[in-house]
Amino acid sequence: MTKTVTTVVAMTPHFTKPIKPSKVELCAFMSLPPAMLISPLVCVKNDPAHSLSFDPRLLKALRTQFRSIGSLNRLFTHCRYVRLVIALGEMRKPMAEIEQRLLMLIDDEPAQSRLITALAAREGWRTLVVRDAETAIATLGTRQGMALSAIILDQWVPGDEACSLIAELRSRRPALPILMLTTSASPLLAVEAMRAGATDYLVKPVAPDRMMQALRMATTREAPRDELQPLTEKMPSTPDFDAMIGAAPAFRSALAVAAKAARGHGPVLIEGESGTGKEMLVRAMQAASPRSKAPFRLLNIGAIPGNSVESALFGHEKGAFPGAFDRHIGALQHADGGTLALDEIDRLPISVQQRLLESIQKGDVRPIGARHSFRIDVRLIAASNLPLKDMVEGGHFLPELLTAISGTTVYLSPLRDRVGDISALARHFLARIGEQPGLRPLGITDAALQLLSAYDWPGNVRQLQAVLFRAAVFCEGDALTADDFPQLSDMLGDSGVGQPPVQEGMGVMLYAADGNLRPLEDIEADVIRLAIGHYRGRMTEVARRLGIGRSTLYRKLSELGIGEAG
């Protein structure tokens, strides 16, 4: 029996941990989309039967794209569009015989069932479709039912109310993830479904990649569980700088830069980890910009299949490529005269990066298959989960494009670096959650805030909001307590209690960590940052409210290192 490393491939943004070549004995590469095994890069030692067949044309394309794949480690660095989940152990049968995960889809719409089945198959799922609640419950007791890894349930499934069915499924299989599809954008049904036992919910129409991401997060072993489980849907947010809560100096400084840049016309790059509030900041900048009434498009690169990104950006003519049955206007043309926001620009393929750079430099766009270009006037706001300078150094992002999109750069700190804002964020989110149908206003105890402040929040502000939403759904009292976060309590133990919340409120910190007053110069700098964010970069208003002249204000800005926005 040969000891091997079996590599399972699935679409995710980038690698999170380096992989040592010495630990890899078998690797398969999957192109996305369509999902096709290209080649084993290293065969299983002494066991050729486990090697995989490959298409030489695709392997040639792979080598052309990456140019030099001198080592597996180098190749892994390049493959930002796949994730390798590695399981070390004894492989007792060929990869082709490894059993697929089984998904039960409870849905009576044939078209939707076919779509979800096809999407799930691309990620290694086999789908069992049942048409009604009675059949679904009966299926749980069968051999197939015992092999289920997840359930997707349509809200309008015949035979029973969705929430009653969820409760019944949950009582029979407590550990099975259950995702609900709904046409209602109101949180009321979501609240009822979660109380019944749903793991997550999605509002239709659902983008294919969002649905698969939700399924992936609900079933990945490494994913957070219970109250730390992320939610796919977000609560509607106000596109306003005032809605961005936080008093940490670095955060207020970032908002000050963004508010000032919003009133210009130049490109802006926003960097920060996933969940830090980049999309919210983009919308706040758009609302405060001179182009607020002009066309606005937000394109999430990470949610678009790799072979469709170019068409989504530039558009295409009818017949430009197989499957182009109609003419499609791209996001750049749609945003003409206004603003185009590109989220997860770090996932933009190199070939498309070159085309985007040319469009920015020339001020025009040429759809795929078109004979001529169209002049455009578009302001670009880009957001990235990864530091683009590091990607440039690694050869994954064009330096010229980075220069073109980063007229102003804003960095949003992760929540673990602004622990003092957790109390204010928690109270803000609870106030908003209390306004949702089916929920009520709740307070939160100091003990609960201590617990929240002790966690490092890998999912950042978005995860904090999801945790509070789940806790509010199940809370029976008038305030959240530490008992409403049992998983956090178990994880943190005594480290999560006994310490007062680090910082509360939206004001400026007067005391340093050692208990002494901070220097007056530092406090003054924080006040100016706070004012710029609060008055959305209107410098005349900022100066008037602070009681100083504009020349004095600009001198202070120079001392703070906040330059002019384009």
The encoded tokens of residue 255 equal: 């908002």
Q: What is the mean pLDDT of residues 381-385?
A: 97
Confidence of residue 161 (pLDDT cuts 50, 70, 90): confident
Using CA atoms, how far apart are residues 444 and 449, in angstroms rounded to an integer? 7
In this predicted structure, the answer to whether residue 503 has a pLDDT above a threshold of 90 is no
Using CA atoms, how far apart are residues 327 and 456, in angstroms rounded to an integer? 48
Q: Which residues contact 114 (CB under 8 A, 6 or more apart)?
A: none
**118 and 201 share a domain?**
yes
The burial of 274, by beta-carbon neighbours within 10 Å (0-12 exposed, 13-18 middle, 19 or more buried), is given as middle
Using CA atoms, how far apart are residues 75 and 150, in angstroms rounded to an integer? 33
pLDDT of residue 64: 47
479 found inside a domain: yes
pLDDT of residue 513: 61
State pTM to two decimals: 0.65
29 found inside a domain: yes
**117 and 186 share a domain?**
yes
Name the domain boundary from 411, 438, 453: 411
Using CA atoms, how far apart are residues 48 and 101, in angstroms rounded to an integer? 26
**291 and 212 share a domain?**
no
Which run of H or E residues covers position 256?
helix 249-262
Identify whether 34 is preceded by a cis peptide bond (ω within 30 of 0). Answer: yes
Using CA atoms, how far apart are residues 265 and 289, in angstroms rounded to an integer? 8
pLDDT of residue 514: 65
Name the domain boundary from 478, 496, 514: 496
Higher per-residue confidence, 71 vs 88: 71
554 found inside a domain: no
76 found inside a domain: yes
- CB atoms closer than 10 angstroms to residue 424: 18
The encoded tokens of residue 241 equal: 């700088």
**172 and 264 share a domain?**
no
**176 and 60 share a domain?**
no
50 found inside a domain: yes
pLDDT of residue 297: 95
C-alpha of 493 from chain center: 29
- Total of domains in the chain: 4
C-alpha of 356 from chain center: 23
Q: Which one-letter amino acid corresponds to residue 102? A: L
**Nearest Cα to Cα of residue 388 among 302, 254, 269:** 269
Count Cα neighbours of 512 within 13 Å in the Cβ-side half-sphere.
7
**461 and 348 share a domain?**
no
Q: What is the mean pLDDT of residues 263-277?
A: 94
237 found inside a domain: no
Higher per-residue confidence, 258 vs 542: 258
Using CA atoms, how far apart are residues 92 and 73, in angstroms rounded to an integer? 27
Tell me which residue range forms the domain holding 387.
Answer: 249-411
Q: pLDDT (tens digit, 9 = 90+) per residue, 460-485?
A: 998 999 899 889 988 888 899 999 99
Q: What percent of the chain has pLDDT over 70?
A: 72
Confidence of residue 80 (pLDDT cuts 50, 70, 90): very low
The CATH number of the domain where 365 resides is what?
Answer: 3.40.50.300
The CATH number of the domain where 487 resides is what?
Answer: 1.10.8.60
Q: Which one-letter amino acid corresponds to residue 297? A: R
**181 and 204 share a domain?**
yes
Higher per-residue confidence, 373 vs 119: 373
Q: pLDDT (tens digit, 9 = 90+) per residue, 185-244?
A: 666 777 888 888 888 888 877 777 777 778 877 776 555 555 565 565 666 667 788 788
Highest-scoring range by mean pLDDT, 30-44, 58-72, 77-91, 221-235: 221-235
**121 and 86 share a domain?**
no
8 found inside a domain: yes
Q: pLDDT (tens digit, 9 = 90+) per residue, 396-430?
A: 999 999 999 999 999 999 999 999 899 889 998 99
The CATH number of the domain where 113 resides is what?
Answer: 3.40.50.2300
**80 and 128 share a domain?**
no
- The structure tokens 């609240």 sit at 191
In this predicted structure, the answer to whether residue 46 has a pLDDT above a threshold of 70 is no
**93 and 157 share a domain?**
no
Strands 268-271 and 408-411: parallel
Name the domain boundary from 442, 462, 496: 496
**389 and 424 share a domain?**
no
Q: Maximum distance among all alpha carbons in the chain?
A: 79
Long-range contacts of 90-96 (CB under 8 A, 24+ apart): 90/1, 90/3, 91/1, 91/2, 91/4, 91/6, 91/44, 91/50, 92/1, 94/49, 94/50, 95/6, 95/28, 95/50, 95/52
191 found inside a domain: yes
**473 and 420 share a domain?**
yes
